[in-house]
Amino acid sequence: MRTVLTLLRKELLLERKVPQLVPAMALFSVTTFVVFHFALQQRDVDGDLAAGILVVTLLFATILGINRLYVADREEGGFDAFLLAPVDRTALGVAKALTLFAFLVLVEFVMVPAFAILLFGPGVGWELVGKLVLVLAMVNVGLSVIGALVGALAIQTRARDLIGPLVALPLLVPVVITAARALSPVLGADGPGAMEGQFLAVLGLYDLVFGLLAYALFDFLLED
């Protein structure tokens, strides 16, 4: 755990000193909402359409983060130094997943208000915020775990900018669909409705399965 925290601290300090991923992801999200605002030719969205726009925008912003998650380690010899260190190899995977989770939370502090201002029609209350935070937290776990796993796989190839999205998108489609179905009643025109527990259960199960899978496979990906 000490190794994970040390690596996480390093990642966060690096992003704070030389901001790259978070500003790029946030700018992409806001720009996408602006495009939707003018392209849909309607002032407000809600329900299924609002949930779909929000989750899909978060997905593609995450792809930007996945492609750059391991670049510094690859180009500056971080992988070699870590392999020589007497620590558990999976600590790097856990730290990268936590890093991506933290980046997504920071992006959502910009992304969600921009979505509410540019696209979302119904008013925003504490009940909606609470339910939105719950679903987005579960979505972030899935995006972070799969992103850390796919990023470690893609960085070993020459065409990492192509391999990353091609591998990540099929794995993340269930997360996007389930999250959109869970958020649809929350973003309804008549105010936040009751969420269906089955979608939250599926999302939680998906996070758990891929979390265990990523933990089991990361050591082999790093060694290769």
Q: Span 180-208, mean pLDDT?
A: 81
- Structural domain count, the chain: 1
Asked if pLDDT for residue 122 goes beyond 70, the answer is: no
The model's pLDDT over 36-89, given as tens digits with 9 standing for 90+, comes to 888 877 777 777 888 888 999 999 899 888 877 777 766 666 666 666 666 677
Give the domain range for residue 70: 2-223
Q: Span 142-160, mean pLDDT?
A: 82
Report how far Cα 24 is from the mean position of its chain's Cα atoms.
13
Model pLDDT, residue 76: 64
Model pLDDT, residue 78: 63
Cβ atoms of 15 and 103 closer than 8 Å: yes
Q: With bands split at pLDDT 50, 70 and 90, how would you rate the model's confidence at 214?
A: confident
What lies within 8 Å, CB to CB, of 51 at 6+ separation is 179, 180, 181, 183, 184, 186, 187
Mean pLDDT of the chain: 81
pTM of the model: 0.88
What lies within 8 Å, CB to CB, of 150 at 6+ separation is 66, 164, 167, 168, 171
Cβ atoms of 172 and 142 closer than 8 Å: yes
The model's pLDDT over 81-101, given as tens digits with 9 standing for 90+, comes to 666 666 677 777 788 889 899
What one-character-per-residue DSSP string does 33-66 give?
Answer: HHHHHHHS--S-B-HHHHHHHHHHHHHHHHHHHH
Report the phi/psi class of residue 130: left, alpha or beta, with left for phi > 0 and alpha for psi in -120 to 50. alpha
